[in-house]
Amino acid sequence: MNPLGEALEGIPEGEGLGIVVIGTGPGSYNGARVAIAAGQGIGMVRGCAAVGVSSLEALETTRAGGRCLAVGDARRGTMFAVRLEEGKVVGEAELLEAEDLVSRVEAAVEEGYGVVTLEDVGRLLLPEGLEKAVKQELPQARLLLEAWWARSEGEREAVRKVPPEPFYLREAYITTPRKK
C-alpha cells in the first residue's frame, strides 16, 4: 500500500481525482479483490468514480495495438489464453490443457499475434523455441489509464455503470469444511 499512499500524496493540494482506474486481473484471487476494494475506497473518499479495466490491457504489447494473445498458468493443471485486439480484451478467457496451449501459441505466432504472459515464461511448459516467442510483461499504471482513455465515451460510460469486478478465469475454488 505504500506506493498507493505515495501516489495519493503526490496530488497537488486543492486538486482532486477525476476517476480511479483499477486493474482487475487476471491475477491472484485475493490480490484482485484487494485492489478493487482499495480503488473503490479511494473513489469514495475522493468523491469520484472507480472503474475496472483488465490488467491485460495495461501491457506494452497490448497497448501497441494490433492482435495479441495473453497466456498464463491458470493453476490446478490448466493454462489460459485471452485474445486482445486494438488494446482491448476480446471475448472470454479460454482454459486449456498444457498441450493445447502449445498449439494455441504456435498458431498465434504464425498469424502474427504478439504473445505475452504476466508470469515467468517457464511456467507455461512450452518448447524452448516457442518460449522465445512469448514476452513476459507486467501491467503498468500509466498503461492502465491509457487503456481507459482509449475507449470511446460510450464505452467509458457503460463501464462506469458496472462496479469493478475481478477478471476471474474460472469460478472461485472453495472447499467446504468436513463434517465432524
Residue-number span of the structural domain to which 21 is assigned: 2-55+140-160
Q: What is the mean pLDDT of each run of 10 residues along the chain (180 residues)?
A: 83 88 91 93 94 97 95 92 96 94 97 96 93 96 96 96 92 71
Same domain for 47 and 79, yes or no, is no
Q: Check residue 178 and give its pLDDT.
A: 78
Same domain for 8 and 44, yes or no, is yes
Cis ω before 26 (30° cut-off from 0): yes
Question: What residue has cell string 492482435?
Answer: 67
CATH number of the structural domain spanning residue 126? 3.30.420
Q: Cα angle vertex 142, ends 136, 148, to 5°?
A: 100
